[in-house]
């Protein structure tokens, strides 16, 4: 304010001095009394000019400086003390600046209020999750942690601290370090780990801005109860299957012995019904054990790279016995002979046997079951098992992979289906990181499609 005030005052004073000097040397005669009279008048008028200049300078300075000073104070205290009252200016340009600033600050306050509301809402949602949540920025500083994270894994009140000083679990620390340091090129898949008799599932989710990760969400889910339940279920199924197999085997043995000695047609028909149902019970028990082992990850998963055409031909003898009962054939078509698949041979065998058996049950006698494979992309192969049956009702297409689900209960029971085959197919596909779905063919029948990881040999390099 002083700088502007001095400049406004000095300008008219400087002009007055220059005009007075010019007038003195050009108009005043050399007489002594004339010079003194001129200097007296000049001093009085100079004082008047100085006073008027000072007053005008003060008023002008207030009109310029006061609104800007109050605006600066509001900006320094914003947003804690709100907007408050502004000092208006009579200078149009200064008043325009004040009004624009007032409008922008009002919108900014509204935006800040909305952001604070969203922040509180997000924190409430994150604290309400069952999973433990950690948010870490690119510098490795903990930005947020909710209340559900176990103290066995991380120190409480770690906000603002480096992650390597507050993480207690070694596995969790290694996984977070690989993400923050950039040694992991991609976000790792969810992984399970154990800490002090508790089981956890770890997952990462990047938070991106302009396609660049600015922070990472670390989700830690306590799956101890789920793991214990799965173990109890697996133990129960294993024990139940073991206990049921013995009496079912005895029933089947007695029924087979009596069927050879049956003299009447009615007795033979009853015994054959007993044999069919014991076989079905054996298949149900076997399927229940398989699907339980797969879901609990107790089933050994040993994927290898296999040539798809050779593997499918090896499966042909396993399914032809079932197909020949209905005079059906198996047609295998591959669009790329050198296509290979990265999968577990035993699990893949269960997958194809169940799909082909399902297609056979729903196809008329004398028809062909089609199996074909084609590369869907550089990383996946698409396998299809198609039948010539009536197809799947549109409202049931999404339910066919559920346990014990039957689109046609009468047909499935008469054909001997257990209702677990397609559930096993879906679980095996998930283990391989693929996807299974069903759809109806335009020409009739249903097609079950399986997407699996692929390995395709580079033909150009081999031929060179």
CATH of residue 434's domain is: 3.30.565.10
pLDDT-based confidence at residue 226 (cuts at 50, 70, 90): confident
Same domain assignment for residues 402 and 381: yes
Same domain assignment for residues 46 and 135: no
| Cβ–Cβ under 8 Å, residues 428 and 452 | no
Q: Across-strand partners of 453?
A: 380
Q: Which helix (H) or strand (E) holds 75?
A: helix 32-77
Same domain assignment for residues 333 and 454: yes
How many domains in the chain? 4
**Is residue 122 domain-resident?**
no
Q: Which helix (H) or strand (E) holds 377?
A: none
**Is residue 120 domain-resident?**
no
Say which residues have a Cβ less than 8 Å from residue 292's Cβ, sequence separation at least 6. 233, 234, 237, 238, 298
**Is residue 451 domain-resident?**
yes
The mean pLDDT of 381-408, rounded to a whole number, is: 82
Hey, what are 37's tokens? 């009279």
Same domain assignment for residues 98 and 175: no
pLDDT-based confidence at residue 13 (cuts at 50, 70, 90): low
Same domain assignment for residues 195 and 177: yes
Q: Which pLDDT value is given to residue 86?
A: 58
DSSP string, 94-138: HHHHHHHHHHHHHHHHHHHHHHHHHHHHHHHHHHHSSSEEEEEET
Q: How far apart are CA 438 and CA 446, in angstroms?
A: 7
**Is residue 113 domain-resident?**
no
Same domain assignment for residues 269 and 407: no
Q: How do 329-334 and 368-375 pair as beta strands?
A: parallel
**Is residue 344 domain-resident?**
yes
Q: Give the end of a domain, one of 203, 222, 241.
A: 222
CA distances from 77 to 67, 94, 122, 275, 419 (A): 15, 21, 27, 88, 70
Same domain assignment for residues 72 and 213: no
| Cβ–Cβ under 8 Å, residues 176 and 217 | no
The answer, yes or no, to whether the previous bond of 79 is cis (omega within 30 of 0) is yes
| Cβ–Cβ under 8 Å, residues 393 and 368 | no
Q: Give the end of a domain, one of 192, 222, 252.
A: 222
Say which DSSP state 437 is in. E
| Cβ–Cβ under 8 Å, residues 411 and 358 | no
Q: How far apart are CA 412 and CA 390, in angstroms?
A: 13
pLDDT-based confidence at residue 83 (cuts at 50, 70, 90): low
Question: Which residue is listed with tokens 């279920």?
Answer: 233
Same domain assignment for residues 265 and 137: no
Nearest to 201 by CA among 229, 230, 172, 174: 172
Q: What CA dihedral angle connects 239, 356, 422 and 221, to 10 degrees?
A: 80
The mean pLDDT of 164-169, rounded to a whole number, is: 90
Same domain assignment for residues 344 and 418: yes
**Whole-number mean pLDDT of the chain?**
78
pLDDT-based confidence at residue 386 (cuts at 50, 70, 90): very high
Question: Of 29-43, 45-59, 146-160, 395-409, which has the strongest mean pLDDT?
Answer: 146-160
Same domain assignment for residues 97 and 145: no
Residue 182, by phi and psi: left (phi above 0), alpha (psi -120 to 50) or beta? left
Q: How far apart are CA 362 and CA 406, in angstroms?
A: 11
| Cβ–Cβ under 8 Å, residues 89 and 63 | yes
Residue 237 sits in a domain whose CATH number is 1.10.287
The tens digit of pLDDT for each residue in 244-263 reads: 778 888 888 888 888 877 77
Q: Which pLDDT value is given to residue 75?
A: 72
Q: Which pLDDT value is given to residue 332?
A: 87
Q: Give the end of a domain, one of 242, 260, 295.
A: 295
Q: Which residue intervals of 142-264 are DSSP H helices? A: 163-166, 170-181, 224-261
Residue 185 sits in a domain whose CATH number is 3.30.450.20
Q: Which pLDDT value is given to residue 8?
A: 59
For 182-328, strand residue ranges (E) read 191-195, 198-209, 212-222, 304-307
* pLDDT surpasses 50 at 464: no
| Cβ–Cβ under 8 Å, residues 373 and 384 | yes
Three-state secondary structure call for residue 143:
strand
The tens digit of pLDDT for each residue in 430-447 reads: 888 888 999 998 888 899
Q: Which pLDDT value is given to residue 88?
A: 65
Long-range contacts of 172-181 (CB under 8 A, 24+ apart): 172/202, 172/218, 172/220, 175/202, 175/204, 176/134, 176/136, 176/216, 176/218, 179/204, 179/216, 180/136, 180/138, 180/140, 180/216
Query: What is the reported pTM?
Result: 0.51
Q: Which domain holds residue 18?
A: 2-106
**Is residue 164 domain-resident?**
yes
The mean pLDDT of 371-391, rounded to a whole number, is: 86
Same domain assignment for residues 202 and 345: no
Report the largest interatomic distance among the alpha carbons of the chain, rounded to a whole angstrom.
Answer: 167
* pLDDT surpasses 60 at 405: yes
The tens digit of pLDDT for each residue in 21-66 reads: 666 555 555 555 566 666 677 677 777 777 777 777 777 777 777 7
Same domain assignment for residues 82 and 139: no
**Is residue 118 domain-resident?**
no
Three-state secondary structure call for residue 384:
strand
* pLDDT surpasses 90 at 448: yes
**Is residue 59 domain-resident?**
yes
Q: Name the percent of the chain in helix, strand, coil, to the closest 5.
A: 55, 20, 25
Q: Is the sign of the CA dihedral 252, 257, 259, 262 positive or negative?
A: negative
CA gyration radius for the chain?
A: 43
Higher-pLDDT residue of 88, 416: 88
Hey, what are 464's tokens? 């060179």
**Sheet of 212-222: strands edge to edge?**
142-145, 132-137, 212-222, 198-209, 191-195
| Cβ–Cβ under 8 Å, residues 302 and 342 | no
The tens digit of pLDDT for each residue in 356-369 reads: 988 988 888 999 99
Q: How far apart are CA 376 and CA 382, in angstroms?
A: 6
Q: Which pLDDT value is given to residue 271?
A: 83
């Amino acid at each position: 304010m002083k700088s502007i005030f001095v400049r406004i005052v000095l300008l008219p004073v400087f002009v007055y001095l220059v005009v007075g000097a010019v007038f003195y040397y050009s108009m005043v005669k050399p007489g002594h009394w004339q010079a003194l009279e001129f200097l007296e008048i000049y001093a009085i008028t100079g004082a008047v000019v100085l006073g008027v200049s000072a007053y005008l300078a003060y008023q002008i300075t207030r009109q310029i400086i006061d609104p800007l000073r109050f605006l600066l104070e509001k900006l320094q205290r914003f947003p804690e003390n709100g907007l408050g009252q502004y000092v208006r200016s009579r200078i149009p340009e200064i008043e325009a600046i004040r009004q624009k600033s007032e409008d922008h600050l009002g919108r900014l306050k509204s935006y800040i209020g909305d952001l604070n509301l969203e922040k509180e809402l997000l924190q409430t949602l994150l604290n309400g999750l069952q999973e433990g949540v950690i948010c870490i920025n690119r510098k490795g500083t903990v930005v947020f942690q909710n209340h559900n994270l176990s103290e066995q894994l991380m120190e409480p009140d770690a906000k603002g601290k480096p992650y390597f000083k507050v993480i207690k679990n070694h596995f969790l620390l290694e996984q977070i370090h690989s993400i923050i340091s950039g040694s992991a090129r991609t976000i790792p898949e969810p992984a399970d780990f154990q800490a002090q008799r508790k089981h956890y599932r770890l997952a990462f989710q990047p938070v991106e801005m302009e396609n660049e990760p600015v922070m990472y969400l670390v989700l830690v889910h306590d799956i101890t109860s789920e793991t214990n339940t799965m173990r109890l279920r697996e133990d129960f199924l294993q024990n139940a299957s073991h206990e049921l197999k013995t009496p079912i085997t005895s029933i089947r043995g007695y029924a087979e012995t009596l069927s050879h000695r049956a003299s009447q047609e009615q007795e033979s028909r009853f015994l054959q019904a007993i044999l069919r149902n014991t076989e079905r019970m054996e298949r149900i028990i076997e399927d229940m054990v398989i699907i339980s082992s797969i879901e609990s990850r107790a089933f050994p998963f040993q994927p290898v790279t296999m040539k798809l055409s050779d593997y499918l031909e090896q499966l042909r003898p396993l399914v032809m016995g079932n197909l020949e009962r209905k005079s059906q054939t198996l047609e295998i078509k591959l669009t790329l002979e050198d296509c290979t698949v990265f999968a577990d041979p035993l699990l893949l065998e269960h997958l194809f046997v169940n799909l082909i058996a399902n297609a056979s049950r729903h196809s008329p006698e004398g028809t062909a079951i089609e199996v074909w494979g084609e590369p869907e992309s550089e990383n996946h192969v698409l396998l299809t098992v198609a039948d010539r049956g009536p197809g799947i009702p549109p409202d049931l297409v999404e339910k066919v992979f559920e346990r014990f689900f039957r689109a046609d209960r009468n047909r499935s029971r008469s054909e001997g289906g257990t209702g677990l085959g397609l559930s096993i197919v879906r679980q095996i596909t998930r283990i391989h990181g693929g996807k299974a779905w069903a759809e109806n063919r335009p020409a009739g029948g249903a097609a079950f499609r399986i997407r699996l990881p692929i390995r395709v040999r580079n033909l150009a390099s081999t031929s060179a």
